[in-house]
Structure 1
Amino acid sequence: MAMDSTKYLSVQSLTKYIKYKFEKDPYLQRVFLKGELSNVKHHTNGHIYFSVKDDQSVISAVMFRYDADKLNFKPEEGQNVLLAGNITLYERRGQYQIYVKEMQIDGIGQLFLKLEENKELLKIKGYLKTEHKKPLPAFPEHIAIVSSTTSAAIKDMITTLSRRYPLVKVTTLNTYVQGGRSKDSVIDNLKRADALKADTVILARGGGSIEDLWTFNELEVALAVFNMKTPIVTGVGHETDITLVDYVSDLRAPTPTAAAEQAVPNIKDLNTRLGELHRQLDNLTLSRISNSRQMLDNLSNYYKFKNPNLLYTEQTERLRDLSSTLDNFMSQELLNLRHRLDKYMSALAYNNPAPDIQKYQSELKRTSGDLNRQMKMMISQKVERLAANINVLESVSPVQILKRGYSYTTFNNKIVTDAKNLNVGDVIETSFNSGTVSAKVTEVNTDDEK
């Protein structure tokens, strides 16, 4: 039995029909998805091709350059994102996909992105440079702790400080370290701690998620830490937690307890070191006493000390010799200076410039007279030449020619030098030495016609 081929659709026709259904369905024109990015490819033309997947399914996606340029982050493999766009069908492969119009990092990823933005901003401003780090005092007398007084972390810090360095005074400032009031609470108590003029400030809290620790990633809190005049140690979270305040503090500790340990010395280490120094001092003192006793014994046996007059006599003779040497030196030096002075006076008299000055003044006066005479003669010559040139110019001047009875004719403000340039009926103007005459041409005769 022959089959009726007219009821069969081509693949292209079916694909176009399904695409039409996709594009007309209002529920597919604005779709919101969340999932993980996969197979991300950034094309050279600016488009981004990728897939969005969850534990069960995957969908292809495209974000065209116009929308991709609006992103404030670079989409990368494994990022959890929130998407908005429309569903369509790619006819060539018969595969449905989403055209993404908007994209943002989902949840925790958004917080990490914000943390990186704040860190980059501080880096650009130069706040992360080591030159801004203040040294911690080796033996602090007063430490202020900014933390929650009800937390286990502050109890561990106080215990650590008391055990390691019981000489230090500790002031605690009860602070909200989580929640909506925590940012202002941390900033206010940092200012109070700075005003206490303590030797060191510790800013700390126990571990938690990035949401729990977010107060310490706030840009305003990091700037408050950077602007502290008192050296500050930060111990926020666990060892793997690095918050924004850790980058700008003077010292970052991995935990609150470690912050307390790094803020003070260990009294046991100090006692051990003190014992070593005490022994070194004892040995040094005994050695110096022994050396001094040996020197004293040597001096007591010196022969001049047995007869003190020898010391006086020798020094008196030495003083006399030095005085005589000094007198001889001064006399010789004065004599040398006198000879040099006489030499300079003779040279000065020989090189006295007065005769030369008088001679040059006479020569200047004579030269000045010659110059004045030559200038007068030159001016007179120039005047005569000018008069002669004026006479020559006047002899060839058009005005002088006109005075002798000559005239000139113009047509259209141009001098006429040839009759054939005029036509009958032209109005011409003839200029005399005094006045002009306008006339109409009635006849034109050229030399060729004569």
Structure 2
Amino acid sequence: MMKHVYSVGQVNKYIKNMFAQDFMLHHISIKGEVSNCKYHSSGHIYFTMKDADGTINAIMFAGSRREGLKFPMKEGDRVVVTGSVEVYERDGRYQIYARTIERDGEGNLYLKFEALKRELEEMGMFAEEYKQPIPKYAKTVGIVTAETGAAIQDIRNIAGRRNPYVQLILCPALVQGEGAAASIVHGIHALEQIGVDVIIVGRGGGSIEDLWAFNEEMVARAIFDCRIPVISAVGHQTDFTIADYVADLRAPTPSAAAELAVFDYRQAMQELLGMRQQMDKELQRKVTVARNHLEHQRMRLHYLSPQQRMNENRRRVAEYEEKLTGRMEELLREHRHRLALLAGTLESYSPVKKLSGGYAFVEDGNHQALRSIHQIRKKDIVQIHLLDGTLTAAVTEIQAAEGVKNE
């Protein structure tokens, strides 16, 4: 009878198919302690789960980490891994491929958390329109946290460094364990009655059990109903609670909450100084613009005023007067020159001038000027006008000029 002989690869493939046909192994949850935990540069996590009875290799791929792992897993953590058990055919080893990893004991709490979160979200308690703005310059900051925890020390240190003039009012509260939720609600109500400007509600980091008080519905409702803006500061940056969703603002840590609630005094002074300088500059600019506008209006009024027009008309009249006077003087000079010429000409024809040259003006008895010897006869009486007087004479002889016929 022939034996059936199989290769190693065939056996590994057969076993892999057997695992693949087992429905329970497709979605299984295994709890145990983490050991040999290694974070690969690719983003994958390789680790081993163990308990008193055995070990199993496990791997979580980088693509599953964002939604499947909500805490920094490390050696010694007790966890519940949910995923599928499969055979790695090449090595013939089986391992669990993790889709989600939770701390042991968190499963039921996580389901409770998700149910309450879904309920409150449907009621609109997470809606942005209900969020109150955080005052920028708070004078009094109320704090609901443990009196001796690291959270209050961090808040005091940050607040003191940023602005020592802001008043911090602590309302001590239990932040975990029995009665913690009621204690937190009491602190919120007490600070609301005091009338602080903003309230910080929070604590340091811890497991989901440690932070559970901030997942209680009564705490969520107290924060939502509070008339004063509330900043939640629960745990570390990766920790999320119901209080974070319902608060007006979430801070990743108590220190960050202090920075959000307490304004930086020195920075505020610098901003005020800058605004003052800007206001002075703007005021100076407006004064300059107003002065220029006023000067423009003054010049315009000066240009359009009756006095200005009157002065302008006076200047024009003066110019016309000056031109007229100049023209008149010019005409007068011309006429004087012409008169002088005419006077010279007239003088050259003047009988007086003739007389002064030795000539005489002779008239007959009828006072008619004698221009010819034919106008007079012998013994006629004539008057001879000289320069300095008149002579009366009788004609004794008439003699014609050479070449002139004597009638």
TM, length-normalised to structure 1? 0.45
Larger relative contact order (C-alpha < 8 A, sep ≥ 6)?
2
- Structure with higher Rg: it is 2
